[in-house]
Amino acid sequence: MHNLVVCTLCSCYPHALIGCRRSGTSRSSIARARCASARVLREFGVDLPESTEIRIWDSSAELRYLVLPERPAGTERLSEAELATLVRATR
C-alpha cells in the first residue's frame, strides 16, 4: 500500500517535511492525482509495482493528514540517533 495526500490548500503544508510541491493546487491537478495517481507519483520519482494499492487522502482546512512510514524491518534495536541517520540517508 502507498498513501498519497492531496490538498487544495497546499500552500500551508510543511513542504520541507513532505517534499517538494511540483504540481499546482488547482482542482484539475487534484482530480488528476485522484484519477491517475500512479502516473502522478512516477512524475515525482515514485515508481510503484502495478500491484500496489494507492490510497488517496484528501486534506482540507479542517482536516490534515500526515502519513508516517512503518519502521523498517530489522531496526528494532536501533537507537533514535541511528534511525535518524537512516532517514537522512533516504532523502
Q: What does the pLDDT look like over 6-61, one tens digit per residue?
A: 876 655 555 555 555 555 556 677 778 888 888 888 888 888 999 999 998 888 77
Q: Which helix (H) or strand (E) holds 86?
A: helix 80-89
User: What are the CA-CA distances from residue 34 to residues 24, 65, 76, 83, 85 (Å)?
Assistant: 14, 16, 35, 32, 33
Is pTM beyond 0.85? Reply is: no
Active site residue 11: yes
Higher pLDDT residue, 72 or 88? 72
Active site residue 12: yes
| pLDDT confidence band for 87 (50 / 70 / 90) | confident
**Selected catalytic residue, list 10, 29, 37, 59:** 10
